[in-house]
Amino acid sequence: MSDSPHPDHDRGLEFDLATLLTRRRALTLALGAGATAALAACTPGAPGTGQGTTATTTAAAASPPSSATAATGTTMTPSPTVTRAIAECGVEIPDETAGPFPGDGTNGPNALEASGIVRRDITGSFGGGSATRAEGVPLTLTLTLLDNSNGCVPLTGAAVYVWHCDREGRYSMYDAGHEDENFLRGVQEADAYGQVTFTTIFPGAYPGRWPHIHFEVFDSLSNINSTGRVLKVSQAALTEAACNDVYATEAYAASRQNFPGMSLSRDAVFRDDGARYQLATMAGSAAAGYTAALNVTI
């Protein structure tokens, strides 16, 4: 691929977030069983712990922290994951540009109109696309949607459209040779825990951008093609440690050349706050695959 960045790619929108980023509603564990259970079940691991994984939806995971006290008679200290969720609750994830390759009809072709767009595994093309599958290190992405106006309870029934580049930094539907492909694009409906999960590959790095995944949140699955139904457009940033690990592999040779020297503080989208509320919690390895999880407060 060319050493130059995609033209006009992801320059970012200027938003007045001064009020937004200071609005940290301090929630306590007395939120109530519903909201607390959702936070405990859906929250990724705290940064730097190395324990972050995709969240589970088992009954045990959904139990509120107070249940342990009732069962054992001892006081339970909230885990770092729950503590982080409570601290961040009330801070909406920043709005970002969808970039020039959204595939949602706002800049050319519309993948959201194609039969088959609703799917968990987005590695291959679907519908009118060929049987092409994007190759790369496996990545499982889980986004947990939280309703900021209602105490950060799960945003059940919302829909998320996710898209990103392949391991060589190319976008389906736009880049040369991939205009008739629609791999690495898909939609999921949020479950009772506000979660959507996608099976994909680790995206590559291209000049001018920190490795990232785009997403749009709609109020419902039935409205993914309706004007005015978009609740949020943002991006998830991948961790430096995971990128260094993956890009050291032979298959990511182009990314290995593009990534060094890049930083969140230099990225056109994330540089305003260093992706503070957009940096995914990640776990895994290049050999075994990675998981990435992010709370999306709307």
Distances from the Cα of 103 to the Cα of 66, 100, 119, angstroms: 45, 9, 16
pLDDT at site 248: 98
pLDDT at site 89: 78
Please, is 80 exposed, middle or buried when counting C-beta atoms within 10 Å of its C-beta (0-12, 13-18, 19+)? Answer: middle
3-state secondary structure of 38: helix
Residues 286 and 245: their CA atoms lie apart, in Å, by: 6
User: pLDDT 10s digit of each residue in the chain, 298 long?
Assistant: 434 444 444 434 333 333 333 333 333 333 333 344 344 334 433 333 333 333 333 222 333 333 333 333 444 455 555 556 666 678 999 999 999 999 999 999 999 999 999 999 999 999 866 678 999 999 999 999 999 999 899 999 999 999 999 999 999 999 999 999 999 999 999 999 999 999 999 999 999 999 999 999 999 999 999 877 999 999 999 999 999 999 999 999 999 999 999 999 999 999 999 999 999 999 999 999 999 999 999 9
pLDDT at site 80: 56
pLDDT at site 37: 38
Residue 201: other Cβ atoms inside 10 A: 24
**What pTM, to 2 d.p., does this model score?**
0.75
Q: Concatenate the DSSP letters of all residues of 244-279 into one string.
A: HHHHTSGGGHHHHHHSTT--TTTSTTTTTTTTTTTB
Pairing, β 153-154 against β 289-297: unpaired
Tokens standing for 136? 């790369």
pLDDT at site 31: 34
Distances from the Cα of 117 to the Cα of 123, 125, 245, angstroms: 12, 9, 31
Give the closest residue to 232 by CA, choosing from 109, 121, 148, 117.
Answer: 148
Residues 49 and 99: their CA atoms lie apart, in Å, by: 32
Residue 282: other Cβ atoms inside 10 A: 26
Helix H or strand E encompassing 218: strand 212-218
Give the closest residue to 296 by CA, choosing from 273, 272, 280, 274.
Answer: 280
pLDDT at site 87: 65
